[in-house]
Each structure stands twice: as structure tokens, then as C-alpha cells.
């Protein structure tokens, strides 16, 4: 009997679980596979194999059962609700001696330490660390004008983890700190919803950029091209004035013409000039009522 126990312990001592990679980094919302390896020695007898994956979160005392294979049969009765429908074992890899755990739609709470325990004619386990990051890859932007103050308000908003700082720069790469207001809230998934607003008096020759930065993630930037925005608003304003004038002339039953010279827009009534709008090249002549001869 003692000799048999000694041989069993000796066999178990040669059974070693290994991990080719001890640390994994996954992006929030992606899929991740983690792997540990065990000796098979020939053809795998699945009925002799039990596999257990457990996770211990960064701020949790109690472990969560992620996936269990008991004597070759999947056993999800004790699987933690956080992993239901998201965690599975790639069964086709078992014959190679690979226990590959796949987690889909990775969440922030998936970060932590994972124990891979294998029981197959011997038992052993190893730990693997999973880190989860959420990069600020999508930046939502908005440009608003404050006519009374002759100011523009540039807004950048994004979600990610961990908390990012937001830097504003002009096209000369000079950091802008005046009139910057940055706030954040937490989403139900634990992401930081960061919003930053820059208020300033615009200069058509300058562009501005907002940059989301954290040491764990690559920085993400968005560049505001103000020249195009200001020019577009300028044209819209000119078109609005032109339409209002033409409606007025129509009500007064005055024939009119929009006559464009290079760089000058004129609204003319018969028989005299009634309005010189502004220096521009906006094609206002397309919306005129009639075009009398001069």
C-alpha cells in the first residue's frame, strides 16, 4: 500500500501545468483567449480530464467560477453570473494538451488573476493575469458659437478607462489652459465619460486640437480646422441675408438681380442699387426673382 501511494505521488510530481504567457492585455469589448498547458502522453482520455478556471478580481476577496469541465463533461451549474454566455473552453484544443479559455465582450470587471487547474492523472495549477483597458478611440466633437460674446466653444467627449487627462493645443503646439473646463462621470460599465470644453475668441488662421491621454493607453487626438468652419458660417450668414432681402423685394413687387463680380456680391433693384452685401463669391444669382436688362 505504501509503495503504491509513493508511486502515485511520484507520478503526480511529474504532472506540471505550464503557461506560455503569464500576462494578457485585452481591450474593452473585445474577445480574449488565455491558455495553460498540461502533459497528455499519447491519446487523451477525456473522461479522466477535469479543468477548472477561476477568477479573482482586483478588488474582490472571493473567487468567481468562470468555467468547469468535470470528467470530460461541461459543468456550468456553479458558473458565476458575470461569465454566463461569455466564457467557454475551446474543446478542440484539449487533445493537444491545451486548456484555452475564451471570454467574449470583455468587461472591466474581467480584470484580475485567473487560476487554471488541471486534474488528469495528476493535478497542478498556474495563475494568469488579465488586464483590461478601454482606449479613448472615439472622440465626439461639437462647435458652438456665442454671438453675444463673439466666442467659440469647442467640445470633445469620449469614454474610456482609466481616467484620462485632456490637453488643448493650438497649431503652434502651445498648450492652451485658459477657459478650459473638463468634467467626467462614471458609466454603468465603469468607464469614464470625459467631456472637455474650450472657450475662446476665434482666429481664422489658427486650428486647435484636443488630446486624451493616460499612461496606460495611447493618446488620441482630434484637430478642429476653424478656417473651414468660420468660412462656412460666413457663407450661411451671407445666404440668409440675401434670401431675406429677396423676399422683401418680392413682397414690395420690385424686380431684382443678384450680380456677381469677382469678389463682390451685389443685390440690385430697379432702378437703383439698394444693397451692397459684402465681399464674397457666394453664387446668390441662382435665387433671384428676375434679371432685368441694364
pLDDT per residue as tens digits for the range 34-50? 999 999 988 899 999 99
Q: Which of 91, 109, 133 is the last residue of a domain?
A: 133
Distance from C-alpha of 141 to C-alpha of 121, rounded to nearest angstrom: 59
Output the pTM of the full model. Answer: 0.66
Is the model more confident about 267 or about 149?
Answer: 149
Residue 160's pLDDT band (boundaries 50, 70, 90)?
very high
Question: For the chain, what is the domain count?
Answer: 2
Range of the domain at 33: 23-133
**Angle, vertex CA 226, rays to CA 222 and CA 229, nearest 5:** 110
Domain assignment of residue 270, yes or no: no
Q: What is the pLDDT of residue 15?
A: 87
Residues 157 and 93 in one domain: no
Residue 4's pLDDT band (boundaries 50, 70, 90)?
very low
Distance from C-alpha of 62 to C-alpha of 153, rounded to nearest angstrom: 48
The most confident of 52-56, 61-65, 211-215, 243-247, by mean pLDDT: 52-56
Question: β-pairing, 112-119 with 98-103?
Answer: unpaired
Q: What is the pLDDT of residue 247?
A: 56
Residue 22's pLDDT band (boundaries 50, 70, 90)?
very high
Residues 103 and 30 in one domain: yes
Residues 35 and 129 in one domain: yes
Domain assignment of residue 6, yes or no: no
Domain assignment of residue 27, yes or no: yes
pLDDT digit string (tens) for 161-195? 999 999 998 877 677 767 899 999 999 989 999 99
The most confident of 74-83, 148-157, 253-262, 267-276, by mean pLDDT: 74-83
Least confident residue range of 126-140, 229-243, 256-270? 256-270
Is the model more confident about 98 or about 270?
Answer: 98
Q: What is the pLDDT of residue 34?
A: 98
Domain assignment of residue 7, yes or no: no
179: number of CA atoms within 13 Å, CB side? 10
Give the cell for residue 95.
Answer: 487533445
Q: What is the mean pLDDT of the chain?
A: 77
Domain assignment of residue 276, yes or no: no
pLDDT beyond 70 at 262: no
Give the residue-averaged pLDDT of 250-259.
48
φ and ψ of 20, to 5 deg: -70, -20
Domain assignment of residue 59, yes or no: yes
Q: What is the pLDDT of residue 59?
A: 73
Sequence-distant (6+) residues with CB within 8 A of 172 are none
Residues 104 and 197 in one domain: no
pLDDT beyond 90 at 277: no
Q: What is the pLDDT of residue 128?
A: 97
Q: Which of 133, 156, 173 is the last residue of a domain?
A: 133
Domain CATH number, residue 215:
2.60.40.10
pLDDT digit string (tens) for 100-112? 999 999 999 999 9
Q: What is the pLDDT of residue 2?
A: 44
Q: What is the pLDDT of residue 14?
A: 77
Q: What is the pLDDT of residue 208?
A: 86
Residues 115 and 164 in one domain: no
Amino acid at each position: 500500500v505504501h509503495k503504491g501511494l509513493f508511486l502515485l505521488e511520484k507520478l503526480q510530481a511529474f504532472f506540471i501545468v505550464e503557461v506560455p504567457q503569464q500576462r494578457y492585455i485585452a481591450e474593452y469589448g473585445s474577445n480574449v483567449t488565455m491558455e495553460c498547458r498540461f502533459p497528455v502522453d499519447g491519446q487523451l482520455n477525456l473522461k479522466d480530464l477535469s479543468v477548472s478556471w477561476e477568477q479573482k478580481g482586483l478588488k474582490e476577496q472571493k473567487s468567481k467560477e468562470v468555467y468547469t469541465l468535470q470528467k470530460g463533461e461541461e459543468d456550468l451549474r456553479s458558473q458565476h453570473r458575470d461569465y454566463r454566455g461569455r466564457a467557454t473552453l475551446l474543446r478542440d484544443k484539449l487533445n493537444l494538451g491545451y486548456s484555452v479559455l475564451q471570454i467574449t465582450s470583455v468587461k472591466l470587471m474581467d480584470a484580475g488573476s485567473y487560476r487554471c487547474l488541471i486534474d488528469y492523472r495528476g493535478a497542478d495549477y498556474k495563475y494568469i493575469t488579465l488586464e483590461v483597458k478601454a482606449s479613448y478611440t472615439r472622440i465626439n466633437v461639437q462647435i458652438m458659437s456665442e454671438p453675444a460674446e463673439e466666442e467659440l466653444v469647442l467640445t470633445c467627449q469620449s469614454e474610456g478607462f482609466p481616467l484620462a487627462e485632456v490637453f488643448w493645443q493650438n497649431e503652434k503646439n502651445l498648450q492652451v489652459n485658459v477657459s478650459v473646463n473638463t468634467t467626467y462621470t462614471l458609466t454603468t460599465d465603469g468607464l469614464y465619460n470625459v467631456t472637455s470644453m474650450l472657450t475662446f475668441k476665434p482666429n481664422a488662421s489658427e486650428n486647435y486640437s484636443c488630446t486624451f491621454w493616460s499612461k496606460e493607453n495611447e493618446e488620441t487626438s482630434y484637430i478642429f480646422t476653424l478656417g473651414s468652419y468660420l468660412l462656412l458660417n460666413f457663407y450661411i450668414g451671407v445666404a440668409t441675408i440675401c434670401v431675406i432681402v429677396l423676399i422683401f423685394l418680392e413682397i414690395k413687387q420690385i424686380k431684382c438681380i443678384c450680380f456677381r463680380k469677382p469678389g463682390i456680391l451685389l443685390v440690385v433693384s430697379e432702378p437703383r442699387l439698394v444693397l451692397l452685401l459684402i465681399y464674397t463669391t457666394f453664387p446668390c444669382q441662382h435665387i433671384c426673382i428676375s434679371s432685368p436688362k441694364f
